[in-house]
């Protein structure tokens, strides 16, 4: 089966032909429901004020919960740091980093700039509103829509798989070790997916275990959504920006030449049409720049913390999975693959954005400016100067996000992993 036929089948699978707004797309509805489950969807910007108020309070509750989990995790490690193994300490630190990262993302979701960016993304910038401008724009919209649907479905499956393994693997180990039977091993404690500074009954009694199991199941869902769904949201926005840049480049490369001209110049009527095309290109590029700047402003701190914490997360995960036991591979293997993949895919998406932006710089010189009148040539010169600045999102408002940033994080992670591995061997 050719790739074209595969894409046609996928296009039918994820098609939304009868909708009148991006808000009604299947993948947007899925994103909205999942983000609402952690109180991070700006319903107020879409006219649902009462629901926004309820979810805003829920968001505050989740923030308090993440902060409490982080503090209880620190206290648990401090209490047992002299008796627990090096790998158990790594697990505690990993959970605490996850809690802190999700807390920061929940805080970002409360900012007005984040909420306005999502509103602009779905009500103004989405390719849905540009698909009728040309057959090529319609083609790009269909491609990006299909890719967005496939990518959203993949991330959701990845999240479900990760949560189930992270929560159920400790349960399976307890079952295998006879912790649920009548003849339970003496002086034994239950294994859990996360540990906190709680009464010993939570770790030694069956009733306490099930209470903590239910709590960990809920918090694992919250943390997983906080880790993956925010990155999915940014990825979907990057897909749209990439599509806009692709359309803009096509328009630059396909400027019509003069017709029936003896001196090689556009006629008066043609110059008027060219002026309108140049104006449309300028307005389209300006729209892209404004949206990218708004995204950079809204997600600047988010991207900075993403790469900062990824430095520690990937390092600890490599350490945990390096024991190569069946338990470690089942519990940390999918999470290690998922987090490294998340780092790589986000970085590659931003690098694709940078590459497509740089292609505009070459495409602008393909405009047949030599056939235009003086006024249009001045407009082309203005466009050349304006497009020289690449379109890119920056972490912390300073560091361009892309493959180079990803490589720096991965190199640092491997270096720290080797140091910790050597230290663990000494212990």
What are the tens digits of pLDDT across the range 155-185? Answer: 888 888 878 888 888 888 888 888 888 888 8
Confidence label for 137 from pLDDT (cuts 50, 70 and 90): very high
Domain membership flag for residue 98: yes
pLDDT tops 80 at residue 386? yes
Contact 73, 195 (CB under 8 A): yes
pLDDT in tens, 77-126: 888 888 877 777 878 888 888 899 899 999 999 999 999 999 999 999 99
Domain membership flag for residue 312: yes
Domain membership flag for residue 9: no
pLDDT at 107: 92
Number of domains in the chain: 1
Domain membership flag for residue 4: no
Confidence label for 420 from pLDDT (cuts 50, 70 and 90): low
**Separation CA 268–CA 274 (nearest Å):** 10
Average pLDDT, the chain: 84
pLDDT in tens, 288-334: 989 988 888 888 888 888 888 888 888 877 777 776 677 667 667 77
pLDDT at 425: 58
Least confident of 33-37, 245-249, 329-333, 346-350: 329-333
**Separation CA 383–CA 422 (nearest Å):** 56
Domain membership flag for residue 136: no
Residue with tokens 């199941």: 217
Report which of residues 376 and 181 the model is more confident about.
376
pLDDT at 305: 82
pLDDT at 354: 79
Host domain of residue 224: 25-129+155-426
Domain membership flag for residue 15: no
Mean predicted confidence (pLDDT) in 131-150: 90
Angle, in degrees to the nearest 10, between helices 26-36 and 135-176: 40
Domain membership flag for residue 90: yes
The DSSP result for 106-160, as a single string, is HHHTTSHHHHHHHHHIIIIISGGGTTTS-HHHHHHHHHHHHHHHHHHHHHHHHHH
Domain membership flag for residue 37: yes
Tell me the torsion sign for CA atoms 204, 205, 211, 214. positive
pLDDT in tens, 253-281: 888 888 876 677 888 888 899 899 999 99
pLDDT at 427: 53
Least confident of 139-153, 299-313, 369-383: 299-313
pLDDT tops 70 at residue 397? no
The DSSP result for 348-401, as a single string, is HHHHHHHHHHHHHHHHGGGS-GGGS-HHHHHHHHHHHHHHTSPP--EETTTEE-
pLDDT tops 90 at residue 65? yes
């Amino acid at each position: 089966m050719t790739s074209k036929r595969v894409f046609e089948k996928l296009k039918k699978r994820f098609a939304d032909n009868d909708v009148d707004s991006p808000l009604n797309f299947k993948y947007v509805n899925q994103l909205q429901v999942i983000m609402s489950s952690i109180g991070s969807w700006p319903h107020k910007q879409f006219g649902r004020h009462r629901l926004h108020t309820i979810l805003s309070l829920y968001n505050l509750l989740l923030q308090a919960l993440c902060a409490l989990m982080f503090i209880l995790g620190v206290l648990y490690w401090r209490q047992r740091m002299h008796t627990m193994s090096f790998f158990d300490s790594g697990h505690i630190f990993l959970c605490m980093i996850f809690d802190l990262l999700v807390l920061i993302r929940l805080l970002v979701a409360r900012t007005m700039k984040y909420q306005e960016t999502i509103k602009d993304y779905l009500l103004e910038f989405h390719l849905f509103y540009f698909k009728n401008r040309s057959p090529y724009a319609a083609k790009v919209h269909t491609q990006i829509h299909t890719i967005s649907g496939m990518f959203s479905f993949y991330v959701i499956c990845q999240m479900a798989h990760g949560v189930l393994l992270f929560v159920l693997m400790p349960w399976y180990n307890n079952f295998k070790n006879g912790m649920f039977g009548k003849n339970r091993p003496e002086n034994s404690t239950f294994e859990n997916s996360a540990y906190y500074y709680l009464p010993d009954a939570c770790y030694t009694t069956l009733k306490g275990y099930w209470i903590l199991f239910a709590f960990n199941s809920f918090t694992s869902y919250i943390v997983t959504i906080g880790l993956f769904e925010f990155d999915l949201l940014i990825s979907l926005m990057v897909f749209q920006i990439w599509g806009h840049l692709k359309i803009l480049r096509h328009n630059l490369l396909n400027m019509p030449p003069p017709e029936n001209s003896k001196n090689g110049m556009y006629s008066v009527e043609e110059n008027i049409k060219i002026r309108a095309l140049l104006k449309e290109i300028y307005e389209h590029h300006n729209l892209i720049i404004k949206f990218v700047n708004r995204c950079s402003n809204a997600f600047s701190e988010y991207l900075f913390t993403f790469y900062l914490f990824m430095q520690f997360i990937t390092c600890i995960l490599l350490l945990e999975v390096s024991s190569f036991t069946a338990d470690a591979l089942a519990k940390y293997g999918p999470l290690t693959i998922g987090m490294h993949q998340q780092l790589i895919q986000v970085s590659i998406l931003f690098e694709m954005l940078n590459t497509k932006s740089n292609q505009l710089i070459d495409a602008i010189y393909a405009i047949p400016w030599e056939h235009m009148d003086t006024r249009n040539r001045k407009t082309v010169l203005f466009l050349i100067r304006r497009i020289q600045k690449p379109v890119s999102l920056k972490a912390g408002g300073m560091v361009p996000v892309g493959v180079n940033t990803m490589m720096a994080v991965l190199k640092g992670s491997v270096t720290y992993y080797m140091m910790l591995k050597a230290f663990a061997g000494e212990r």
